[in-house]
Amino acid sequence: MSTATEPEPARPWRPENGPRPTVWTWPRTDRPALWVRSHGAERYAPVLALQEWADGTVYYQVEIDLHGDRRVGMRLYRWPQPGLRTARVSQSPRAKGVDESWQAEMPHRTA
């Protein structure tokens, strides 16, 4: 079994941390991803958001299957740290809002 260091998850932002972080997202179909060391393996983790806190610290919010058993959860990791590395770079520019271009219009009722 590998002795590589696993990254430490971070706690979410709280008001006592100062101003709210700037949150960046990417289109659902073109998200960046990280390799996250977990239980002796590197797990592929698509990035849901990048947070830039007022103190300059960067955090990645990712979807990840920590145990390799197909149970996916969300984790927040401070960047950089041992146990994290880039897996995929998005070709799309990051945005400060949710990209809804992949969503269709809501169905309309017919009377």
**pLDDT for res 99:** 52
CA 81 distance to own-chain centroid: 15
The residue ranking higher by pLDDT, 96 or 105, is: 96
As to burial, measured by CB atoms within 10 angstroms (0-12 exposed, 13-18 middle, 19+ buried), residue 84 is buried
Confidence grade of residue 107 (pLDDT, cut at 50, 70, 90)? low
**pLDDT for res 108:** 54
**pLDDT for res 110:** 58
User: 19-76: per-residue pLDDT in tens?
Assistant: 999 999 999 999 999 999 999 999 999 999 999 999 999 999 999 999 989 999 999 9
Compute the chain's Rg from CA coordinates.
Answer: 16
Confidence grade of residue 106 (pLDDT, cut at 50, 70, 90)? low
